[in-house]
Amino acid sequence: MADDLKKGLEGVLVAESDLSSIDGDAGQLIYRGYTIEDLARGASYEEVLYLLWHGHLPNADELASFTDALTEERTVSDDVLSTMERLADAEERPMAALRTAVSMFSATEPESDADPEDLDATLRQGRRITAKIPTALAAFERYRLGDEPVDPRPDLGLAANFLYMLTGEEPDDIAAETFDQALILHADHGLNASTFTSMVIGSTMADIYSAVTGGVSALSGPLHGGANQDVMEVLIEIDESDLDHREWIEQATEEGRRIPGFGHRVYNVKDPRAKILAERSEELAENGESRWYNYTTTIEQYLTEEKGLVEKGIAPNVDFYSGSVYYQLGIPIDMYTPIFAMSRAGGWIAHVLEYQEDNRLIRPRARYTGPDTREFVPIDDR
């Protein structure tokens, strides 16, 4: 058995997957053979979910049936709603509220007694989780504002319906399409920390509710999710500063401040998802407030072209533009990571199902660095 230590399991192959592939040097992301650009610009989030879960893009009839099944599962129980209200009143963090909600969903699971090896049942359970997360999240935010939850609308897609439940108003086409794209871009991304966490839990044949709850918990850590929130907080700081945004970024870099949204564990060039969201941010700016887009483009140009970060393998990642895009859509800043989870849940479920098809309990080992064998002394003699 090899004794090479790989902190963080970096570069260690632990599974084979058909789901997504990342080329960090070329800046390419594909889901089951389709480039992220083609999917984001030509498919819906529901189509991408179908692709991840079933292995191929649906035809019109398959998509209609799949969408209907998702729509039927959107309602959450009164117990979940009352818990979201209590957590909102207690000023709980949105990611913690989501973790609680996902765990509670299992209480009304109609197939709770299904065989853990029945992957069709697991997929149906995963579909229910995916459908209910937007409803629970929107309800939590409404309660925080002192408003009543908005019931889901069956005539709206998942992305548009979430924005509707969040605000009580049907989003325009640009907002709905932009948010739908954002969900597609975040649906899967290899064996990141939260996906691997879900797989580890799934490898024990625990139920999919446990696996997704674990994924939410892993994503809540600031080293995984949350960078888009950090980006937006920086942009607001720029906006409230007395300095021009160009002057602000120059001063910040001179002071050695790290600007969030740059650099990625995998990509050495600009994240392909960032390119797509930059386009959407520009489109939103043309139809509304342009300053956030102007700030991000100025920062990107300054750091990449004048400071030469790209030559050092540091470029904008998806979080650099998703923060301002969400802000332009009117989404509260501390809801950004829960939205990430809302999208990525589809990927977590897909990876668990894929791994369980040829399951082996994930059980790494650690190198022992403690003391050698010591003589035990009874407590009266210590």
Residues with catalytic roles: 264, 319
d(CA 308, CA 77) in angstroms, rounded, equals 52
d(CA 321, CA 235) in angstroms, rounded, equals 11
Amino acid at 79: D
- What is the CA angle 42-45-50, rounded to 5? 100
For the chain, helix (H) and strand (E) counts, in that order, are: 16, 3
Q: Is 235 exposed, middle or buried (0-12, 13-18, 19+ CB in 10 A)?
A: buried
Query: Are the C-beta atoms of 229 and 323 separated by less than 8 Å?
Result: yes
d(CA 312, CA 159) in angstroms, rounded, equals 36
Structure tokens at 270: 């600009």
Q: Which residue has the tokens 């818990």?
A: 83
